[in-house]
């Protein structure tokens, strides 16, 4: 397929032209289940206000001080075991044991890395000042390095300050959307747009990969297998009283749209 064309801001959740020139009805109308246009749980926005940023801050510190130290200790144990095995010599049993230990070590390292980037993005000193646009650009650059897929980022200059829960939700959603495009789409390009319009903050993540049928993943019914990423994105947006939509078809690329009221 060709590249997915990015839509005009004002057309975001309104009727507009589709990728192949057909008129498009609003996302919510086309697929109410997928769009999950949060019929604003009446107190969803209060919920956002109630989330205590100080508690979040302390949770992030606990993650760092507790989990990181434990993971690091576990990693050292694995390292010592591998050294002991190396001293024993390489029998079939020991080399299979070493393979498993190496894998465990890699998983622990990946978890340490993940916590470090999260704490790096939301550490106490960044809490107040962390600029949303810079956070999005930084994460996209990090993913571009990891995946080798070029990511074009467009961040509006007039973004308002947002609360920590909103920042964390956007960070996680972007992380998952970019990771999905890398893992499932065989995309050649990705696009990220962040802007405000009509009293809301909008995040759009597009790839030109193989696409899929979102209804199979987000439609009613139990989650198939362990696919939690898209449902998690949708739940995060719901919690903030916003709207979440996925546009994708096999062979047609994918666009994730998020709108969060300001
Ligand atoms: N950008 C994409 N391009 C193509 N297929 C996608 C894309 N995003 C999601 N999918 C499809 O939707 C499925 C569900 O995605 P979801 O993120 O919910 O779960 P997952 O990535 O399989 O597992 P995880 O729980 O680790 O996120 C994927 O397995 C994949 O088939
Ligand atoms: Mg996923």
So where are the chain's domains? 11-40+131-261, 53-124
177 within ligand 1 shell (Cβ under 6 A): no
pLDDT one-digit tens code per residue, 37-65: 334 454 554 455 455 555 666 676 666 66
Going by pLDDT thresholds of 50, 70 and 90, the confidence category of residue 189 is very high
Q: How far apart are CA 93 and CA 116, in angstroms?
A: 35
Pairwise CA distance, residues 48 & 239, whole Å? 7
Q: What CATH architecture does domain 11-40+131-261 belong to?
A: 2-Layer Sandwich (3.30)
* Digit-coded pLDDT (tens) for 202-224: 999 999 999 998 888 887 766 65
Alpha helices in 89-218 (DSSP H): 92-122, 124-129, 132-147, 164-180, 214-218
Give the best-scoring range by mean pLDDT among 15-29, 94-108, 123-137: 94-108
Distance 144 CA to ligand 1 centre (A): 18
pLDDT at 256 over 80: yes
- The residue with greater pLDDT, 121 or 246, is 246
**Of 143, 176, 179, 212, best ligand 1 pocket probe by most atoms within 8 Å of the beta carbon:** 212
For the ranges 122-131, 141-150, 239-248, the lowest mean pLDDT is seen at 122-131
């Amino acid at each position: 397929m060709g590249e997915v064309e990015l839509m005009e801001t004002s057309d975001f959740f309104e009727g507009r032209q589709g990728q192949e020139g057909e008129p498009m009805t609003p996302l919510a109308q086309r697929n109410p289940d997928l769009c999950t246009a949060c019929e604003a749980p009446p107190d969803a926005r209060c919920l956002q206000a109630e989330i205590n940023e100080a508690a979040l801050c302390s949770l992030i510190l606990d993650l760092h001080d507790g989990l990181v130290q434990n993971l690091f200790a576990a990693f050292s144990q694995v390292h010592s075991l591998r050294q002991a095995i190396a001293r024993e010599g390489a029998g079939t049993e020991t080399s299979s044991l070493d393979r498993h230990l190496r894998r465990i070590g890699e998983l622990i390292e990946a978890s340490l890395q993940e916590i470090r980037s999260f704490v790096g993005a939301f550490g106490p000193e960044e809490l107040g000042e962390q600029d949303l646009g810079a956070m999005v650009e930084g994460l996209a650059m990090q993913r571009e390095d990891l995946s080798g897929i070029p990511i074009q980022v467009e961040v509006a200059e007039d973004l308002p300050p947002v609360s920590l829960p909103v920042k964390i939700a956007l960070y996680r959603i972007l992380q998952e959307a970019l990771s999905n495009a890398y893992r499932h789409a065989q995309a050649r390009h990705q696009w990220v747009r962040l802007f405000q319009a009509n009293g809301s903050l909008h995040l759009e993540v597009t790839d030109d990969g193989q696409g899929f049928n979102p209804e199979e993943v987000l439609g009613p019914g139990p989650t198939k297998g362990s696919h939690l990423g898209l449902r998690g994105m949708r739940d995060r947006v719901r919690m903030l009283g916003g709207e979440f939509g996925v546009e994708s078809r096999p062979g047609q690329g994918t666009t994730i749209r998020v709108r969060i009221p300001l």
